[in-house]
Amino acid sequence: MSSAKEESVNAVIDPATGEFKRPAAQFRNFISSKSNAEFPPEKGRYHLYVSYACPWAHRTLIVRKLKGLEDIISFTSVHWYMDLGGWRFVTPDEHLPGDNVAPDPINHVNNVRELYLLADPTYNGRFSVPVLWDRKLKTIVSNESSEIIRMLNTEFDGLVGEEFRGVNLVPEELREKIDELNTWIYDDINNGVYKSGIAKTQEAYEQAVTAVFTSLDRVENILQASSGPYLLGSQLTEADVRLYPTIVRFDVVYVTLFKTNLKTIRDGYPNIHRWLQHLYWDIPDFKETTSFEHIKKHYFKSLLPLNPNGIVPLGPLPDIREK
């Protein structure tokens, strides 16, 4: 008999090919500064539910800090452990590292599943993070990270100071290039590591791993030719933000657990490694939202079908090499 976790993994596996298929998010509302918007930007109205372990949630934490929204949008992180019921909140007597790893202060539910059912009692999809919650309407605005970060990038500019209004991760002149990068980086790298690790056939695994490293080679070449430290030159963009959570987890988790082990970032990709070191060591918003304890413990202790004994590797050390 399969465990609940195995059933959860199998639920997104194509039985014909053994390939991992990520289901689409189902809450797709948008905060808008346009008049008469159902979800207007307001200070204190919205709350992010995240996991420090989850790469999709990680991107929302980064953008929240880059845009100076700490006093506008609050957040709570769940426990790093995903139990049989999915993501759960810590109990009052549990103390984990990281800001706002706490019991749910808004709805006082025990887990993310209860949060979704509070928003929609008929919901039968995945109980994922991030979740952008509307305190006023008591519902989920969005559980699609790519759309949440677009909202955070523009729709709250009227509530922040000039310093942060000047931060635009998707400038109009670069939008087409950013969208192009996002498309293949998502397919082959962000989601590609999962397609590698959760594949159920040798063919599906090899196809996914090949795509991961072909696209990492492509990123390496882009950074080699870049006129600045970022993917699109001298300006930090959404493309960098979306790539970072995968790359920062690559050596410490994916190489081992997901068997993406043809190369490491630190020894196989000098330009990507330099880019990673710059983001982590030089821009506090990246380092301050990165918790290797949450990351490593979550993957190695929660994904038991891939690591049945739940043993967490000691290395690689250090998590990120100093510049």
Angular region, 233: left φ>0, alpha ψ -120 to 50, beta rest: left
From the candidates 46, 52, 54, 299, give the one annotated as an active-site residue: 54
User: For the residues 60-67, what does the mean pLDDT come to?
Assistant: 99
Specify the amino acid at residue 49. Answer: Y
More confident call, 18 vs 49: 49
144 is in an annotated binding site: yes
Residue 194 is a catalytic residue = yes
pLDDT (0 to 100) of residue 5? 45
- pLDDT tens-digit series, residues 161-219: 999 999 999 999 999 999 999 999 999 999 999 999 999 999 999 999 999 999 999 99
Is the pTM above the cut of 0.75?
Answer: yes
Check pLDDT > 90 for residue 44. Answer: yes
Tokens found for residue 132: 């952008």
User: For the residues 91-97, what does the mean pLDDT come to?
Assistant: 96
56 is in an annotated binding site: no
pLDDT (0 to 100) of residue 14? 72
Check pLDDT > 70 for residue 21. Answer: no
Closest CA to 264 of 224, 312, 216: 216
pLDDT (0 to 100) of residue 26? 83
302 is in an annotated binding site: no
Specify the amino acid at residue 288. Answer: E
pLDDT (0 to 100) of residue 25? 62
35 is in an annotated binding site: no
pLDDT (0 to 100) of residue 4? 38
* Domain range list for the chain: 4-165, 172-283
Place 299 in a pLDDT band, splitting at 50, 70 and 90. Answer: very high
219 is in an annotated binding site: no
Tokens found for residue 291: 């918790």
Q: Which CA distances in Å does 229 have to 30, 85, 224, 294, 299? A: 32, 42, 9, 28, 30
Classify domain 172-283 by CATH number. Answer: 1.20.1050.10
Give helix 238-249 / helix 270-282 axis angle, nearest 10°: 100
Check pLDDT > 80 for residue 15. Answer: no
pLDDT (0 to 100) of residue 83? 85
80 is in an annotated binding site: no
Place 237 in a pLDDT band, splitting at 50, 70 and 90. Answer: very high
User: For the residues 265-293, what does the mean pLDDT come to?
Assistant: 99
Check pLDDT > 80 for residue 30. Answer: yes
**Fold classified for 4-165:** Glutaredoxin (3.40.30)
User: How much of the chain exceeds pLDDT 90, in percent?
Assistant: 90
Place 8 in a pLDDT band, splitting at 50, 70 and 90. Answer: very low
When mean pLDDT is compared across 17-21, 115-119, 211-215, the lowest value belongs to: 17-21
Check pLDDT > 90 for residue 278. Answer: yes
156 is in an annotated binding site: no
Mean pLDDT over each residue of the chain, to the nearest integer: 94
pLDDT (0 to 100) of residue 7? 37
pLDDT (0 to 100) of residue 10? 45
| Beta partners for residue 233, in sequence order | 230
